[in-house]
Amino acid sequence: MGLLDVGKIVNCITDGCTKKDRFSGGMGGSGTGVELGGLGTILLFSVIMIILVLLFAKYLWNVCLVPLVPVKKCDSVWHLVGASILFGLLFPSSPSVPTNTQ
């Protein structure tokens, strides 16, 4: 229960994200509503967010990191994609598993 309800998002993806409007106001419609473009909307939003994050990371790399640390200037966003994959392989994030301390 919050701004980001993962259960609703998963149900939206698996069920096709259809939301039916049951209102029939005498306009001759059947009252079935219009399907929302669930998976396509989520994929489009994800791609746009990835592009924005990569462009912001390129700006931060070139403006903030280059003057402070002796690294080369980033010419392409693809260098950042490769660096993020490399960092993910070198420093994997593992889920925190509670350990029994009995």
Is residue 80 one of the residues assigned to a domain? yes
Domain count, the chain: 1
In contact, 22 and 31? CB cutoff 8 Å: yes
pTM of the predicted model over 0.85 = no
* Best CA proximity match to 10, nearest among 30, 33, 39, 31: 39
Is residue 100 one of the residues assigned to a domain? no
Query: In this predicted model, what pLDDT tens digit does every residue of 29-78 receive, in sequence order?
Result: 454 444 556 888 899 999 999 999 999 999 999 999 999 999 899 889 89
Is residue 101 one of the residues assigned to a domain? no
Q: What is the domain range of residue 43?
A: 6-22+29-90
Q: Is the pLDDT of residue 2 over 60?
A: no
Residue of 39 and 9 predicted with greater confidence: 39
Is residue 79 one of the residues assigned to a domain? yes
Write out the two tokens for 11: 């149900």
